[in-house]
Amino acid sequence: MPGRPIIPCFAIRGQSRGTLSATGYYKNRPFRCDKITPMNRCRAGSFLLLALLICTSCTVWKEQPAKAFTEATGGEELERLLWQEVKAGHWTDVENHIASNYMAITRHGMQDRNGAIAYFKRLKIDDYTLGDFQTQLNGNTFVIVYTIQMRGTLNGQPLSSNARRVLTVWQEQKSGWMMIAHSFIETEPSQS
């Protein structure tokens, strides 16, 4: 049959008793298929629905936040976990993630690991807000810059309501993620 298309060409028409038939040409040969039954349509629909569900499943549900340092996959999660543990007073977890060669700088000067742990223990946080995250990964090291606003006390005195800019360096070591450097800079009060 010269002149007939090489690609499939289908004509689907309704039949009695709920079946469909398909006729067409494939490679210049006519064919007819009377096997499209309701059960086959149900299977095809189920397959299509499953394929759509798989395609959208990655974007429909929110990513669950890490509940432990071992579950953290990014710098922002590490910082959120750190402040969550400081607020809760879980000092063992905090101490286990501060490196032995840790250094910090604040408006009061430099602190080593022991000074930082003592500072965190004197800090009683009622509430805090983290924001403006910028994270850079370089090999096995995260550099995170963000802002934090805290409500609570330090040595029994109320904390300033000013936001603080924070820079933290986390490094992945054999024992897990370790904080190796930290910097706090208090911002000026906003002019309203």
- Examine the pLDDT at 21 and tell me if it is beyond 60: no
Q: Kindly list the distances between the CA atom of residue 14 and the CA atoms of 17, 18, 24, 44, 78, in Å, as whole numbers in the listed order.
A: 9, 8, 15, 17, 61
Helix (H) / strand (E) element for 75: namely helix 75-88
Q: How confident is the model at residue 185 (pLDDT cuts 50, 70, 90)?
A: confident
Q: What is the pLDDT of residues 100-144, one digit of tens each?
A: 999 999 887 899 999 999 988 998 999 999 999 999 999 999 999
CA dist., res. 155 & res. 82, Å (int): 20
Residues pairing with 142 in the sheet: 137, 170
Among 186, 174, 179, CA closest to 116: 179
Residue pointed to by tokens 């501060």: 98
> Residue 114: its pLDDT value, please?
94
Torsion angles phi and psi, residue 131, rounded to 5: -165, 180
Q: Tell me the three state secondary structure of residue 135.
A: strand
Is residue 127 a contact partner of residue 150, using CB atoms and an 8 Å limit? yes
> Residue 22: its pLDDT value, please?
55
Q: What is the pLDDT of residues 27-57, one digit of tens each?
A: 666 655 555 566 666 777 777 777 766 666 5
Segments making up each domain of the chain, as ranges: 9-59, 69-186
Write the class of the CATH domain 69-186: alpha beta
pTM of the model: 0.64
If you average pLDDT over every residue of the chain, what do you get?
A: 78
What is the rounded average pLDDT of the residues 174-179?
91
